[in-house]
Amino acid sequence: MDKEILINRLKAKPDLNLFVVEVIENTTILNALFEIVLTETSSIKYQCTKIIRMVGEQKPELLYPYFEDIVKWLHHKNSFIKWDGIQTLSNLSAVDYEDMFGAIYQDYFALIQDPQMITAANVIGNAWKIVLAKPELETYITRRLLEVPKIIYMHKGEPSPECNCIVCGKVLECFEHYFVYSANQAAMINFAEGQLRSCRKAVVKKAEDFLRQHSEINQG
């Protein structure tokens, strides 16, 4: 599809769910979407990365040829594009037959230490997909997640313990997805026990639920 035609269609604010169906049926649109992300200065490019992310949620194999293009989004100056890149790459891990993720996983998970809480939360919230797709990375990923309580996240230019508590809650949610497959269950239990002292009641509740479900590991 011609890029200018596509831009005009997106300016009309179409139903993105229907648009994703169209892209899946006509994958030539993907080329134009990626070109717009690279060249467009207007907010249209954010619609494009969102559409690409939504395609990846349904048909990740269609995006695999664009893996390296999406990797570039990880350090994009715009946070929305960065976050779409983080989520999309996690979905592509399931179809990464050439192990392209192997070359970038350290860079990917280094974003857990990004001072912006939402960036870290996006990595952590999608990490379980990568664990299930690439179990050989489970110990590395779990170790990175266990470091979260020591990381300083910022809010309005100031260190925010509250933000750290929120991200720790995301870690608990992530662990729940792959606890039964983990070689590091005892470490996960210890992490959850530490969150019983969280400054956020919602995180304490998550920790209590986690320990209630998996406490037999600790007893063993």
State residue 2's pLDDT score.
82
Residue 49 to residue 52: CA distance in whole angstroms? 5
| Number of neighbouring beta carbons within 10 Å of residue 134 | 18
Residue 141 to residue 208: CA distance in whole angstroms? 23
CA dihedral 120, 149, 147, 77 (to 10 degrees): 20
- Reported as type and span, the H/E element at residue 136 is none
Residue 5 to residue 61: CA distance in whole angstroms? 26
State residue 216's pLDDT score.
66
Q: 1-103: which CATH architecture?
A: Alpha Horseshoe (1.25)
| Residues of the chain predicted below pLDDT 70 | 1, 216-220
> What ranges do the domains of the chain cover?
1-103, 110-220
State residue 125's pLDDT score.
98
Amino acid letter, residue 54: M
14: alpha, beta or left? (left if phi > 0; alpha if psi -120 to 50): beta
Amino acid letter, residue 152: I
Residue 85 to residue 102: CA distance in whole angstroms? 16
